[in-house]
Chain A
Amino acid sequence: MSLGPTIYFNVRLLDPATGLDSIGALLTQDGIVVDYGPGLDKNSLPSKARMIDCTGLCLSPGFIDIRVHLREPGEEYKETIETAGQAAATGGVTAMVCLPNTQPPVDDVSVVEFIARRAREAKLVKVYTYGTVTRATEGEQLTEMGLLSEAGAVAFTDGTKAISNAMVMSRALSYASGFGLIIVQHPEEPFLAKDGVMNESEISTRLGLPGIPTAAEAIMLERDIRLVEMTGGRYHAAHISTADGVAIVRAAKNRGLSITCDTAPHYFALNENAIGDYRSFAKLSPPLRSEDDRLAVVSALADGTIDIIASDHSPQDQESKRLPFIQAECGAIGLETLLPLTLELVHNGELSLLAALEKITSKPATLFNLPGGKLQRGAPADIVLFDPNKPWVLREENFSSKSKNSPYDGRPVQGIVHETIVDGRSVFKFAP
Chain B
Amino acid sequence: MESKRKAVKSPQNPPARAFPHKHLLGIEGLSPQEIQILLDLADSYVEQNRAENKKTDLLRGRTLINLFFENSTRTRTSFELAGKRLGGDTINMAVSTSSIKKGETLIDTAMTLNAMHPDILCVRHPHSGAVQLLAEKVNCSVVNGGDGTHEHPTQALLDAQTIRRRYGKIEGLSVAISGDVLHSRVARSNMCLLTTMGAKVRLVAPPTLLPTDVERYGVDIFHNLEDGISGCDIVMMLRLQTERMQGMYVPSIREYFRFYGLTKEKLNAANPDALVMHPGPMNRGVEIDSELADDIDRSLIREQVEMGVAVRMAVFEVLTRNKLNKAQ
Measured CB to CB, the residues of A under 8 A from B are 135, 140-147, 167-168, 171, 174-175, 177-179, 231-232
List 12 A–B pairs whose Cβ atoms lie within 8 Å, in order of A's numbering: A141-B247, A142-B247, A142-B248, A146-B255, A146-B259, A147-B254, A147-B258, A175-B206, A175-B250, A175-B251, A178-B207, A178-B208
Mask: chain B, 204-227; 1 = CB below 8 Å from A; 0 = not: 001110000000000000011000
B207–A175 touching, CB < 8 Å:
yes
Interchain nearest-CB distance for B123 vs A (Å): 32
Residues on B with C-beta less than 8 A from A231 are: 207
Binding site secondary structure of chain B: loop
Pick from A135, A141, A146: contact of B258, CB under 8 Å: A146
- A147 touching B255 in the complex, CB below 8 Å, given contacts A141-B246, A171-B248, A231-B207: yes
A145–B251 touching, CB < 8 Å:
yes
Q: Which residue of B lies closest to A168 (CB)?
A: B248
A179–B251 touching, CB < 8 Å:
no
A135–B207 touching, CB < 8 Å:
no
A135–B206 touching, CB < 8 Å:
no
Residues on A with C-beta less than 8 A from B259 are: 146
How many chain B residues touch A (Cβ–Cβ < 8 Å)?
Answer: 16
Residues on B with C-beta less than 8 A from A143 are: 251
A178–B247 touching, CB < 8 Å:
no
Interchain nearest-CB distance for B226 vs A (Å): 13
A171–B223 touching, CB < 8 Å:
no
Give Cα A144–Cα B252 distance, bound, in whole angstroms.
7
Residues on A with C-beta less than 8 A from B167 are: none
Give Cα A20–Cα B244 distance, bound, in whole angstroms.
52
Residues on A with C-beta less than 8 A from B249 are: 171, 175
Residues on A with C-beta less than 8 A from B252 are: 144
Residues on A with C-beta less than 8 A from B224 are: 178
Residues on B with C-beta less than 8 A from A178 are: 206-208, 223-224
Give Cα A179–Cα B250 distance, bound, in whole angstroms.
13
Q: Can you list the 10 inter-chain pairs with the closest CB atoms, starting with the nearest?
A: A141-B247, A178-B223, A144-B255, A174-B207, A144-B251, A142-B251, A175-B208, A178-B206, A178-B207, A146-B259
Residues on A with C-beta less than 8 A from B248 are: 141-142, 167-168, 171
Residues on B with C-beta less than 8 A from A145 are: 251, 255
Residues on A with C-beta less than 8 A from B207 are: 174-175, 177-178, 231-232
Give Cα A179–Cα B258 distance, bound, in whole angstroms.
13
Interchain nearest-CB distance for B78 vs A (Å): 35
Give Cα A223–Cα B203 distance, bound, in whole angstroms.
29
Residues on B with C-beta less than 8 A from A167 are: 248
- A144 touching B254 in the complex, CB below 8 Å, given contacts A171-B249, A174-B208, A175-B207: yes
If A144-B254, A146-B259 are given as contacts, then 13 extra A-B residue pairs at C-beta distance below 8 Å, sorted by A number, are: A140-B247, A141-B251, A142-B248, A142-B251, A144-B252, A167-B248, A171-B208, A174-B206, A175-B206, A175-B207, A175-B250, A177-B223, A178-B223
Q: Which residue of A lies closest to B207 (CB)?
A: A174
Give Cα A144–Cα B254 distance, bound, in whole angstroms.
9
Interchain nearest-CB distance for B170 vs A (Å): 29
Mask: chain B, 178-208; 1 = CB below 8 Å from A; 0 = not: 0000000000000000000000000000111
- Contacting residues of chain B (232-290) with chain A, CB-CB under 8 angstroms: 246-252, 254-255, 258-259
Give Cα A175–Cα B248 distance, bound, in whole angstroms.
9
Give Cα A140–Cα B252 distance, bound, in whole angstroms.
13
Residues on B with C-beta less than 8 A from A171 are: 208, 248-249
Give Cα A167–Cα B247 distance, bound, in whole angstroms.
11
Residues on A with C-beta less than 8 A from B250 are: 142, 175
Interchain nearest-CB distance for B248 vs A (Å): 6
Interchain nearest-CB distance for B212 vs A (Å): 9
Residues on B with C-beta less than 8 A from A168 are: 248
Residues on B with C-beta less than 8 A from A142 are: 247-248, 250-251
Give Cα A88–Cα B320 distance, bound, in whole angstroms.
79
Interchain nearest-CB distance for B252 vs A (Å): 5
Give Cα A21–Cα B248 distance, bound, in whole angstroms.
49
Interchain nearest-CB distance for A64 vs B (Å): 28
Interchain nearest-CB distance for A175 vs B (Å): 5
Interchain nearest-CB distance for B69 vs A (Å): 28
Interchain nearest-CB distance for A347 vs B (Å): 46
Give Cα A232–Cα B258 distance, bound, in whole angstroms.
24
